[in-house]
Amino acid sequence: MAADGAHLLLIHTAGDPRPYLERLRRRGFRFSLIKKRPTEADRTCCYQVVDWDYQEDLSRTLGLAEGLHREHPLDGVLSFSESGVIAASLVAQHLGLPGNPPRAALRARNKYLMRQALQGAGLPTPAFHLVQDAAQIRTLLRAAGQPMVLKPISGSSSYGVTRLTPEHSEAQIAARLEDVRAYIRDYRQHNPQYPFEFWLPPEGLGIPATEVLSPEEDFLLEGFIPGQQFSVDGLACGDQVTCLGVIEIERIKDASYFLEYEEWMPTRLGPERERQIEAVVAQAVRALGLERSCFHCEVKLNPAGVFVLEIAARRGADNIADFLQQVMDIDIYEEGLLLACGQERHYRNLRPRCYMKMRYFLPPVSGTLEAIEGVEAVSADPRVSELELLVAPGDPVLTPPEGYEFLGYLSVRGSTPQEAEATLEELYTRIQFHLAPAPALP
């Protein structure tokens, strides 16, 4: 499907890109890359690599992209990573290449602007407020008289998301805020990419400065939406929205935090209810103004209807690409590249080929990872689709509110939902993480 020699500029890669970039190179794509601290794996996959923090100075990012385009003309620009979607849209606009409008990309990153867009389109949405301090939050909680959710204005993977109730004191709320702010500052300092915006757009790029908020100062406070959670991945192509499948999500049974635990595909809802979810998701994607990218949308379903939680203008992370490949025979990476090259991408009448279930490995306590057992045996099992480890011995491990990361995840397949579930239960416990707990504070 790729045009011979199609040349794409990637804005950041996460993890080891070789499993998907090498496959796409064999299909005729070529890649250049702008990334802060590129790895040797990045250089293996891309014949032009620029070591640059694209989030810190967008004017220089545009200039670097223009130079790459002048030397070896580009057919498209995109990012598979949350932190790169706005920069990718700005670069595509600057070079006159297909992409999302920059303000649409920003709405997919800024949770407050997203809520405004969804509400303006008539979609059901909870009460929401832009907040900066504990006193303001306390007043709004008491006025609501029910639990609300506090979120960083940008971010991903539920980093820093916490549930508050009217019973929380101002001091408790202030402590929660400081915990999240400290986490954001630390994440920025110690990670080459960070899913929080720390930039202001240069004038003339189509994003008003009033729409760029601070991830350390501005937070979204919104009503808590009860119900079962689902995600939908798909393709935005002009005014056409294709939903590629619905995934069922289970979160940890914790009253304060929202870390994911398990995912199913297909869901246990049945096709008719899944189509209801997809119809709302398509409306929400159009409301944000996304025109040319993959998208990942999370929703909640309850007796009152389908409520959109968030939409990202990129492919779903972690196990999502594998779920779509195994269940729907869709390569979401290639779909993203073809969209970025300006091709029309639509699918109809997709049918699941198998059943998948995934479960994250979550740290029971904060500490230091000492060893992991069982990896080779579980990886060799033919029923395993993915075993991804996100930490290594010697790494620190933190539980909320100090940290929100996972140890990894395990995905398995089955010919029935029951078979997939039984396989996961069997294999999951064979992976053992040995932690040295952090010393208790005096």
Q: Using pLDDT thresholds of 50, 70 and 90, give the confidence band for residue 38.
A: very high
Q: Which long-range contacts (CB under 8 A, 24 or more apart) does 340-343 make?
A: 340/8, 340/75, 340/76, 340/77, 340/78, 340/92, 340/97, 340/98, 340/99, 340/292, 340/293, 341/2, 341/3, 341/6, 341/8, 341/75, 341/76, 341/98, 342/75, 342/76, 342/97, 342/98, 342/292, 343/1
Last residue of a domain, one of 191, 224, 257: 224
Q: Give me the chain's average pLDDT, please.
A: 90
CATH of residue 32's domain is 3.40.50.20
What pLDDT sits at residue 162? 85
What pLDDT sits at residue 1? 45
Q: Could you tell me which of 100, 55, 103, 50 has the C-alpha nearest to residue 76? A: 100
The helix/strand/coil state of 439 is: coil
286 lies in a domain? yes
CA distance 371 to 436: 10
Strand partners for 311: 297
Higher pLDDT, 59 or 118: 118
Average pLDDT over residues 346-358: 93
What pLDDT sits at residue 404? 65
CA distance 420 to 264: 9
58 lies in a domain? yes
Per the structure, the complete domain to which residue 55 belongs is given by: 7-97
The answer on 131 and 201 residing in a single domain is: yes
Average pLDDT over residues 259-285: 93
Average pLDDT over residues 271-297: 96
The answer on 402 and 334 residing in a single domain is: no
The answer on 233 and 176 residing in a single domain is: no
> Rg of the chain over CA atoms, in angstroms?
21
Contact 276, 258 (CB under 8 A): no
Tell me how many domains the chain contains: 4
